[in-house]
Structure 1
Amino acid sequence: MAEARRRQAEAAGRRAERLAAWWLRLKGWRIVASRVRTPFGEVDLVARRGRMVAFVEVKHRQGARELDEAVDHHRLRRVAAAAEALMPRYVQEGQDARIDVILLAPGRLPRHLTHVWQGD
């Protein structure tokens, strides 16, 4: 039973990441990587638009209230550590980088939060 729930959650996460990638493409971003793992954690999407590279955390929940609680300081710190490890690979000289979050819930447009991490 637990294995089936884990597989369902994994499939839902992948669907959410695909939807977030399409949302970003519609906004002029190019997806350069997805599900990039580091020793510090995973970055769901790496996207580029012009001189900006965004390391994007994607969260899917069943309702808007749950989305408000989906991203906290601990999770953002993990994404920031992973993004920092990935910057040499994806951010070239003269480019800027930031960490974004895309929040998804059924029946709602994606909510794109930009530049969510300022560091400790």
Structure 2
Amino acid sequence: MSARTPEQRHEADQRGREGEAAAAMFLAQNGWRIVAERVKTKAGEIDLIAKRSGLVAFIEVKWRARSASLADAVDERRLARVAAAVEMVWHDYATDGEDIRIDVILLAPGRKPTHIENAWMPFG
């Protein structure tokens, strides 16, 4: 795999931000409150953190130009990295005894967002 140019990295970052904004809007429309975006830890980044009635979801957002590419957008290694990041900060967000989980939202042009609940369960 060849290295990305600075322009390609910028474009990918911009698409990622747009995807995260679309995922945040989707979550808000479904009763979630976004409490943090792009939380950086030594283990990696958490795209979105959202709360809803006794639950805190740490959400990995994946956007692809073609919906066929979504099947390969998230793998165990990537989710393990998100889980490691969640382990570092979950106590800062689940302050009222809420349950926590890691979700994934998959986005592609021309299709509704796919929300995968409990995509990874790092505790238990």
The TM-score with structure 2 as length reference comes to: 0.93
Equivalent position amino acid for 1:32 in 2: V
* Matched length: 120
Q: Give me the whole-angstrom Cα distance separating, in 1, the residues matched to 2:53 and 2:18.
A: 26
Q: Please give the root-mean-square deviation of Cα atoms over the aligned residues, in Å.
A: 1.3
Equivalent position amino acid for 1:38 in 2: T
Q: What's the CA shift string for 1:74-118, capped at 9, x where partnerless?
A: 000000010111111001242100000000001111100000113
Name the structure 2 match of 1:8: 11
Name the structure 1 match of 2:64: 61
Q: Give me the whole-angstrom Cα distance separating, in 1, the residues matched to 2:81 and 2:119.
A: 13
Among all aligned residue pairs of Structure 1 and Structure 2, give the percentage whose two residues are the same amino acid: 49
SS at match of 1:115: strand
Q: What's the CA shift string for 1:18-47, capped at 9, x where partnerless?
A: 000000000000000000000000000000
Q: Give me the whole-angstrom Cα distance separating, in 2, the residues matched to 1:82 and 1:118.
A: 13
Q: 1:104 aligns with which of 89, 102, 107?
A: 107
SS at match of 2:37: strand
The TM-score with structure 1 as length reference comes to: 0.96
1:94 aligns with 2:97: yes
Q: Which segments of 5 or more consecutive residues in structure 1 lack a partner in the other structure?
A: none
Equivalent position amino acid for 1:110 in 2: P
Name the structure 2 match of 1:75: 78
Q: Which segments of 5 or more consecutive residues in structure 2 lack a partner in the other structure?
A: none
- Structure 1 runs of 4+ off > 4 angstroms? none
Q: Give me the whole-angstrom Cα distance separating, in 2, the residues matched to 1:35 and 1:28.
A: 20
Q: Give me the whole-angstrom Cα distance separating, in 1, the residues matched to 2:61 and 2:73.
A: 10
The alpha carbon displacement at 1:71 in A equals: 0.3
Equivalent position amino acid for 2:69 in 1: E
Name the structure 1 match of 2:55: 52
1:41 aligns with 2:44: yes
Q: Give me the whole-angstrom Cα distance separating, in 2, the residues matched to 1:90 and 1:20.
A: 19
Q: Give me the whole-angstrom Cα distance separating, in 2, the residues matched to 1:61 and 1:80.
A: 22
